[in-house]
Amino acid sequence: MSQEGPVGSGTAADPWLVTTVVDLGHSGVRLIETDTYVAGQRSYLTRVRLSNDDSDQGVSATIYRAGDCYVADSDYG
C-alpha cells in the first residue's frame, strides 16, 4: 500500500488530493482511490479504479467501502 498527499492548495482550481494505491495480493489487480476536497465544501469526492496487470486473466472482485469523515469542521452525517 502507498499513499500520497494531500497535495494541492484546496481551491476549486487546485483541490487537495489524496491518492491511495493497494495491490490486491498476487492477483495482479491494483486498486487506486483518489479523494478530492475543496476547502469549505460540505462533501468530498472519491474515485475508485481497479486495474488488472495480467490482461490474459480475468479476475472477479467485489468492492466494499466504509468511512467516517470529519469534513468542514463537522462530524455530522
**Which string of b and e fits 18-49 if b means at least 16 CB within 10 Å?**
bbbeeeeeeeebebebbbbbbeeeeeeeeeee
Residue 77: what pLDDT?
Answer: 58
Please report the pLDDT score of residue 72 as a whole number. Answer: 66
73: number of Cβ within 10 Å = 6
* Residue span of the structural domain in which 22 resides: 2-52
- Residue 22 is predicted with a pLDDT of 94
In DSSP terms, 4 is beta-bridged to: 19
- Is residue 43 domain-resident? yes
28 contacts 54 by C-beta, under 8 angstroms: yes
Number of domains in the chain: 1
- Write down the pLDDT at residue 43: 86
Q: Which residues of the chain have pLDDT under 50?
A: none
Report yes or no on 18 lying in a domain: yes
Residue 57 · residue 28 · CB < 8 Å: yes
